[in-house]
Amino acid sequence: FFNCKFKLYFKTAFAISHYELCLCKNRNPVKVAPYSLDPGDPAPAFSVPTLDGRLQYEPGMFRDSLIIHAFTNRSAFLETMWSSAEALGALVHGLPESAHVLLLSLDESAPSDVLWMKEQLYRAATHRGSIMNKDTLSRLHFCPLSVFSLGNWIPAVLYSWGCSGHNCGLSQAVFTSSDWKMPVIVKRLDARYDWLMEHWGQRSYSLVDAGDGCAPSPSVKGAVAWVSEEGCSFFTKVQNMAKSNASGVLVYAGAGQPIRDMTCEGAECEAAPLDVPAAMVHLEPSVAQALRLGQTVNVSFQTTPSPNFFISIDQQGALAEMGWFLYPTFSFIDVNKLSVTCLCPTGVWDRLELDVSLSCPSSRDASCPQWDHTVQLFVCCDLLSEMCDLELGRWITAFRRGTGHWLTDVSPLLPLLDSSTCSFTMKTVPWAMPWILSLNLRFSQTNNTTEGTPLLPFKITSLFNGGTFDKDYNKRYQPFKFTLPVSAKKVELYAVVTGHGSDENGCGEFCVTSHHFTVNSNYNHTLTFSTAGSPLGCTLKVPEGAVPNEHGTWLYGRGGWCDGLQVTPWRVDWTGSSNSLLYRGLFEGRDPNPSAQPGYIIMSSFLIFYK
């Protein structure tokens, strides 16, 4: 069989309640009522005016993905995103070649809003001597009509998909005083969570002026400190107020200045996270005056739901959610995409790719499991063989997002499928919430040759497995001796390795581990997870297929994996005669030795022989 597609429906781990073999994928019918459009539905046609003409979208005719972004002046998150050259630079210099962006405004000031947005993008494009890419500009479409004037299905989707989270919803600070008749409500942007571990409580706080916050202030004990943005870094201000036992920090922007992304810088980010909440707002004159006059001012915090600010249409013409934008930057404006061609070879195939997509019980991200889990595919073609139930592929589910589509080359493992009948089993942990996962095995031919002769894997030998990453980890492994078969033209080491769990060093998920395979005591082949624990390690994997804008801490680098991504096999070629192979797993160049709660390594490793 050349193209086998399975849909696997998970109720709990290790239990597949249904599978379906199908030869083609039917598209969902277009819904008549635009108000009932859900993620995954085909996007209806629409046409809107732009500053440069008109954008016409016709299903089947528009071959690229389309991101629809609705701006509003009421969002501090969007104000920060559109005021930062660095944040916009990711859009003008990093927009995927197959993507267009329709830029809208939710406000009555739409004509001036989109003109300002276009001007901001031009400034970002020339920031620090950069040059605006004309092709990118041609794929940015500015519509001067407000969303409520579009007269198509887009407003209905933006409002029905409305949310209250990091990338949408209106975060606000509410000021009250006995001397005022009405509360004063202003937009706010909370500081990045990765250096602050606390959130605003559902209560009212007293507000105390603490100047610029660059020195401790005993007067703020138990209150929210009101500080200016001048003088020192955000981290220093919050740290000083935390030392003064403040309940939180409100930093106000200078006159005429935009709200900024409150984050740490350099060595500050390596310090222990601070334990108070913080946010930035505009300077509100009535609040500043009341504090100056010694009047009592209280502050509370709320989030008002809003229309969604981002939706998209993928390359297949289906509507899709864009997930959480944890930080105000366009670095995360991406649509998970995969273009594959059905190949039906006539002869011996030498490539096997796992085409896997992930979805949730319903079309909305809100129905997706909120935790990440390891999913493994095992194959068995002979119950009596030692090669039965070996791992064929591995993936990590996303944090509360169902969008995911990956193509993983596992061609060296073709000899595992050496029978006319094979069984495939997907496994994850027993407590995992339901996922729907579609698997398609794709076989094809390549030009993998040496001196004009096609190379085909014909024998596989299973090597080392992982285990508990403790002081005895490496004691489990002895040198593995093997002899190169006479017919073999090449030998390859093939390994899938990931680190999990967390001891006092963050091992093995967030610590840097190295995995050494030594041949004949001389040749050391090393796999090192150098980005484990880095703040944005997994964001760099979005171009490689990682699901963007997940919930939780998806941004951090991990030990050989990222949430919402396949685990890519590690392959090393070598050829020799009689050989001895030794494996060791190290932490900081030495044997692991955690004091308690050791992590663990999941590993499948093989020798692959080609002829």
Which of 304, 335, 363 finishes a domain? Answer: 304
Whether the per-residue pLDDT at 14 is higher than 60: the answer is no
Helix, strand, or coil (residue 377): strand
Residue 379 placed within a domain: yes
pLDDT at 2 over 70: no
With 80 as the cut, is the pLDDT of residue 21 above it? no
Domain assignment present for 1: no
436 and 583 belong to one structural domain: yes
In sequence order, the 6+-apart residues with CB closer than 8 A to the CB of 359 are: 40, 402, 403, 404, 435, 436, 437, 438
If asked whether residues 300 and 367 sit together in one domain, one would say no
Report, as an integer, the average pLDDT of 597-607: 96
The string of pLDDT tens digits covering residues 351-393 is: 999 999 888 888 888 888 888 889 999 998 877 777 888 999 9
What torsion do the CA atoms of 157, 161, 165, 171 make, to the nearest 10 degrees? Answer: 60
Rg (CA), the chain: 28
Confidence of residue 206 (pLDDT cuts 50, 70, 90): very high
Structure confidence by residue, pLDDT tens digits, 502-552: 999 999 999 999 999 998 877 789 999 999 999 889 988 988 888 888 988
When pLDDT is cut at 50, 70 and 90, the band that residue 9 belongs to is: very low
Do 547 and 409 reside in the same domain of the chain? yes
CATH number of the domain where residue 295 is located: 3.50.30.30
The pLDDT value recorded for residue 448 is 56
* Pair (149, 200) in one structural domain: no
255 and 121 within one domain: no
Distance from first CA to last CA of the chain, Å, rounded? 23
- Residue range 465-484: mean pLDDT, rounded: 92
Is 328 within a domain?
no
User: Are residues 226 and 273 both part of a single domain?
Assistant: yes
Q: Are residues 259 and 272 in the same domain?
A: yes
- In this predicted structure, what is the pLDDT of residue 80? 96
Which of 121-130, 391-400, 514-523, 602-611 has the weakest average pLDDT? 121-130
Asked if residue 502 is part of any domain, the answer here is yes
Residue 29 reports pLDDT greater than 70: no
Count of domains in the chain? 3
Query: Is there a single domain that holds both residue 160 and residue 179?
Result: no
pLDDT at residue 25, rounded to an integer? 33
Tell if the pTM clears 0.85, that is, is over it: no
For residues 300 and 311, membership in a common domain is answered with no
Residue 265 has pLDDT above 90, yes or no: no
Q: Is the peptide bond before 508 cis (omega within 30 degrees of 0)?
A: yes
Q: What is the CATH number of the domain that holds 69?
A: 3.40.30
Is 391 found in the same domain as 284? no
Question: Mind listing the pLDDT tens digit for each residue in 541-583?
Answer: 988 888 888 988 899 999 999 999 999 999 998 766 668 899 9
Distance of alpha carbon 510 from alpha carbon 531, whole angstroms: 9
**Domain presence at residue 21:** no
Both 299 and 311 in a single domain? no
Quote the mean pLDDT of the chain: 86
The closest of 202, 292, 191, 297 to 238, measured between CA atoms, is 191
What is the full DSSP assignment across 131-162? ---HHHHHTEEEEEEEGGGS-SSHHHHHHHT-
22-26, 131-135, 467-471: least confident range:
22-26
- Residue 355 shares a structural domain with residue 249: no
Q: Give 190's contacts (C-beta < 8 A, 6+ positions apart).
A: 171, 199, 200, 262, 277, 278, 279
**Residues of the domain holding 415:** 351-610
Is 137 within a domain? yes
